[in-house]
Structure 1
Amino acid sequence: MTSTDLPGDRPFVLLATRAENQPADEEYALFLRFTGLPPERLLRVRLERDPMPEFDLDEVSGILVGGSPFNASDPIERKSAVQQRVEAEMAALVDEVVARDLPFLGACYGVGTLGTHLAAPIDGTFAEPISVVDVSLTPAGRADPLAEGLPATFPAFVGHKEAIRSLPPAATLLASSPTCPVQMFRVKQNVYATQFHPELDLDGIVTRIHAYASYGYFAADELGLTLAAVRRAPVTSPSRMLRTFVERYAR
């Protein structure tokens, strides 16, 4: 199915929070590529720069959230004014998204935003270094429409300082890994979050490794090891989820 074959004309929205232009622009390009959407049907909002627009949620097909250098579990005194604004705006939006069961897929930062809404415990217990890990679908994950076409276990890119320690009963666990038990979950029927990055390819994660080398994801002398870690195995399956999301919810 091409972008011209998708039903309807209501756009999807990508909520982004990266201040660095190169990884921010590459993130948008990767979402365009893997969803198959043309730019006019994937509206990007850079929340680190601009306040959240007032969306008419009846006029959008769904919402995507990219990764972020923000950590929900950071103490308030370490959060910038921009981060605090973004968190407040995201919280208000996610409250409405969940109440309406609006199509939503948050990649990495989606776990922080949706997990906060659920009052899930989020901390560094299951942080993962930037690398490739093997993610396995749960029985519920194998039955979920968004995982259609995915192998039962697949390599995926990760790199995060925080994660959900245990998932509340209001959410359904869809995927896990040996080093992070909550890799993907769903709330109600249409609200999803992944800890891994379905939007990334190898070039994209290499860009981020260099862009965020001083952000504490790895030690100063571990650049080479980190670049080697993301080449451990080819990563091709997770991006299918983005196209599946668009084909399922375009209207």
Structure 2
Amino acid sequence: MSPLVYVCVRPQQGAAEAEYESFRSAMRLEPDELERIDLVRESLPDDAFTRWRGFVVGGSPFNVTDPESTKTDVQRRLEAGLTRIAERAADGETAVLFTCFGIGIATRTLGGEVTRAHPEDTGPTTVALTDEGRADPLFGSLAHRFTALTAHKEGSSKPPAGAVLLATNEDCPVQAYRMGDRLYATQFHPEPTAQAFTERMAVYRDDGYFDAGDFDAIAARVNAASLSEPTRILRAFAAAF
């Protein structure tokens, strides 16, 4: 059986390496079972959909809603790669779990709306499953309300037509959805432990996600949060696909 692959879209290599390890650990996979492709530094290969049976897409400091005139060649290239993955998964030709930045790519590609109207502060938030989420193969075994970690400047205001909304909350109503049977997308981060998330916070401390002076207070909230549920999505994805 071909492996899964982690898709890196973070320019910061240390943060990307840690994110990969968070995904691998959460999915309980060996390195040869979860490979890596770095779209910041290389294009999606032509044989991607035969080399790997499915994709998990990490977060990024890029934003889908950045004006096109300000996007670098790197951002345009990696967005093009993620768009290809979204299109193939929506057609049932591969499986993918987009997270954070990736949900914006999937939403835009498939005809939904991404705006700056639904940012969320860095740290823990409460997410609620919809009725459809409670019946979903990946989400259905989760607690109906659970804590997840977020940090984003944009969000999906409307999922793509035909998508099944799986999870929501007041600040960002599109927290997770499924398109067809093989494309999943979450606004929240399902992979990090509290320690991994606070280490990532340190990398992006001065990037406008939170007031740098609030680092210790936010880290304390993260460390106090129960984060048992989101990683179960990743384990279910690895088992299903």
Q: Same fold (TM over 0.5)?
A: yes
Unaligned ranges ≥5, structure 1: 1-8
Q: Percent identity?
A: 34
- Please tell me whether residue 246 in structure 1 is matched to residue 238 in structure 2: yes
In the other structure, the counterpart of 2:106 is 114
CA distance in 2, matches of 1:29, 1:194: 19
Alignment of 1:125-140 (within 5 A): 125-140=117-132
Alignment of 1:83-98 (within 5 A): 83-98=75-90
Output the aligned Cα RMSD.
Answer: 1.5
CA distance in 1, matches of 2:66, 2:112: 15
Residues 2-54 of structure 1, C-alpha deviation per residue, up to 9 Å, x if partnerless? xxxxxxx2100111111222211111111111111111111101111122222
Contact in 1 for aligned 2:26/2:234 (Cα 8 Å): yes
Shift, 1:105, TM fit: 0.5
Equivalent position to 2:205, from 207, 213, 234: 213
In the other structure, the counterpart of 2:180 is 188
- Alignment TM-score, normalising by the size of structure 1: 0.91
CA distance in 2, matches of 1:158, 1:71: 15
Contact in 2 for aligned 1:63/1:104 (Cα 8 Å): yes
Q: Determine which structure has greater relative contact order: mean sequence separation of CA pairs < 8 Å that are 6+ residues apart, divided by chain length.
A: 1
CA distance in 2, matches of 1:44, 1:59: 12
Contact in 1 for aligned 2:195/2:223 (Cα 8 Å): no
Runs of 4+ in structure 1 off by over 6 angstroms are none
- Alignment TM-score, normalising by the size of structure 2: 0.94
Shift, 1:107, TM fit: 1.3
In the other structure, the counterpart of 1:34 is 26
Shift, 1:245, TM fit: 0.6
Contact in 1 for aligned 2:5/2:55 (Cα 8 Å): yes
Alignment of 1:10-159 (within 5 A): 10-159=2-151
Unaligned ranges ≥5, structure 2: none
In the other structure, the counterpart of 2:190 is 198
Aligned residues: 241
Shift, 1:165, TM fit: 0.8
Shift, 1:119, TM fit: 2.4
